[in-house]
Structure 1
Amino acid sequence: MLAFELAQKFRKTRSQQRFISFISMSSTIGIGLGCFVLIVLLSVMNGFEKELTSRILSVVPHGEIYSKSESGIENLEAQLYRFSQDSRLDRVTPYTGLTGMLQSKGELKAISVTGIPVNSVKEKYAERVTKNDWARFSTQENGLIVGKGILDSMDLAIGDTVQILIPQTTQDLTFKAPRSITLKIAGVLSVGGELDNQLGLMHLKTVSQAIGITSKAQGIQFTLKDPFSAYDTMRDIGYSYPQAVYMSDWTRTQGHLYSDIQLVRAVVYIALTLVIAVACFNIVSSLVMAVRDKQASIAILKTMGATDTLIRNTFVLQGVINGVVGVTVGVALAVIVAPNLSEIVRFIESGLGVEILSGDIYFIDFLPSSMHWLDVVVTMIVAMILSVGATLYPAQKAANISPSSALH
């Protein structure tokens, strides 16, 4: 194609074009760098979202209802059977929860304990509790599985005896002396982040008896097939439930993590798209200077019969080549780096002796990455649209050059 050949010829560097070539090269590097960083950071956000789903949402119930009455859930078995027929639900678990103070060796620490059936511990927490811990817990009615953070902070070990102090109130809302139950550490629950510092598991019957639940359970926990439908699903279940109950879902307790990820994703996309746009402005600068430098050549081409469309396409292609090269290099590097980012960061951490993410603060202790090809394709399309858009003004300016004035 003649326009492509002319674009290639105009791109060849001559001594008086070195500055133009430098600006052109900087635009190519800027576009490539913007695409690379954008894809890598989007992959990190995808990784955090994936870990949130697989770690936090595998432990935290997607939704729950709990009785307004102190007696607990009525007709529990019938309700469990009814919910087991609901196609939206993956697992239904009766539970009783209590919040108290864990006491051991003169130390106190707040703990949120959930009592669930023994088999549910094995099914729901299979990846968070070892088989030995589950076997030990299943044979001890006074067994307690605590988060790893609690175990470490209170210097506890398997087999230690602890107490949980349960606050009690009277009819006039004054506090009585707390009730105390004695338990034995039977296992460790490792989720990651702050949850390890507050969670505990007990036998459903033990917890229900401790807080005076006369039915078998205080409430029902739900694991949904689609966790992100929890808000609507739980309201549908709660409003239609035959007993007065409170309802909740994971978006109220852990939703801030997901919201933060989405916010950072949006900020990253906007910021780095603007970086690519700024790099594309360099295409405008280089092409404007190239048009000024090539006025005589453009005039000669027009006197030889070149149309405005040919001239316009020549300079559009000249700028698009910069965009294609930048996008190709940036995307290629991102496709290599993004899937292996976790291993690269681990190597850097071991080499420098630093820790980028602390497991005591965040729910994971490594930098996750999950590259989605849709992000790659969208990034390429956006970068190419910006690159093409940046060529339109200088290309039109070149097409408008009059041979008579240029050769004067």
Structure 2
Amino acid sequence: MSSQDFYRIRRLPPYLFAEVNQMKAAARARGEDIIDLGMGNPDLPTPQHIIDKLKESVDDKRTHRYSMSKGIPGLRKALAAYYERRFGVTIDPNTEAVVTLGSKEGLANLAQAITAPGDVILSPNPSYPIHPYGFMIAGASVRHMPMTTGSDFMSELAHAVQHSVPTPSAVILNYPSNPTAEVVDLDFYKEVVDFCHKKGIWILSDLAYAEIYFDDNPPPSILSVPKGREIAVEFTSLSKTYSMAGWRVGFAAGNKTLIEALTRVKSYLDYGAFTPIQVAATAALNGPQDCVEEHRQIYKKRRDILIEGLAGAGWDVPSPKATMFAWAPLPEDFLEMGSMEFAKLLLSEAEVAVAPGVGFGEYGEGFVRIALVENEHRIRQAVRNIKKFMSNRDAHIQAWRKNKNAESKDDK
């Protein structure tokens, strides 16, 4: 017997980042200085006023009891205030908002709440893994919509709906996108809402990167669209905005029916985050927001150093308009080896870890995701390492081909 004998485990593919992560751990164990630009794990410190509020709340012994599964009232009210000032959207903190243990948990538990075996869910590909696999674990059939360079979302959506039986029950959106860093405007949301409203399809929008943007157009909320709240729920998080990834605080807001379903499932599964964490999260949303702008500018400067440096190394990577990621097409000479082998080669030869695009779905092949989670000095060092690696590309490619041929002979 093994874990593969369990139904839900059998539905999950191998974790494609595991091999790179094992190589990274082994290299560090050997004393190698690996610059980790793979995982989107914020390195910036949580702002001090949030930490101070956590400490203050921890000293109150009453906060050590069970909390509230749907989130303490003050935090839900703070979320409503955020939506009002940021998006001009009024939400009811009692019926249209629930606090989650990060947006990832919220997405997974909503999938459990609204999915029946055999339901069809539409998910862009490439995508953040929880988007399709949360529903797959829940028993749904996931139809992947190719989102490659030049793809038109509405065309792919219409095609997927036309050729799905039964009619899809939900579609997942994620803008700004992880991993591709693509952004959309309010007109895009209006078109999606109009289409899905007519077809009776729920919309689940992941807006985790709403506050990490680099131009004068802040990412919009789908709840700003007329009829949006009739069919959509939106997930946000404090993980990236306030560098609180390990705190596990996120939110779902929007359609009352979906919020009620998620709240009910959560009531059976958890008692909510530790109350002092929720109190500190309230301070984050209600307190000074200059820290958000400071973090945004830090990521922007890192982005510019990375993109300009890679261009100087002979690797042209589009400059992301948002998120803490660059979605980098493989250099042409390395296309034949694919994103996994390229990521492994970059780790072993340049001591730089990146995430292979294929780990985000089959249509992520041909790309790697580079995270802006090291300081400027380290990113410059990564660029120097990559430049040296690129200058020896012919030797690296020939060595890779030789190893591949040797492995092919051994398989025979």
TM-score normalised per structure 2: 0.24
TM-score normalised per structure 1: 0.24
Q: Larger radius of gyration, structure 1 or 2? A: 1
**Counting strand residues as a fraction of each chain, which structure ranks higher?**
1
**Counting helix residues as a fraction of each chain, which structure ranks higher?**
1
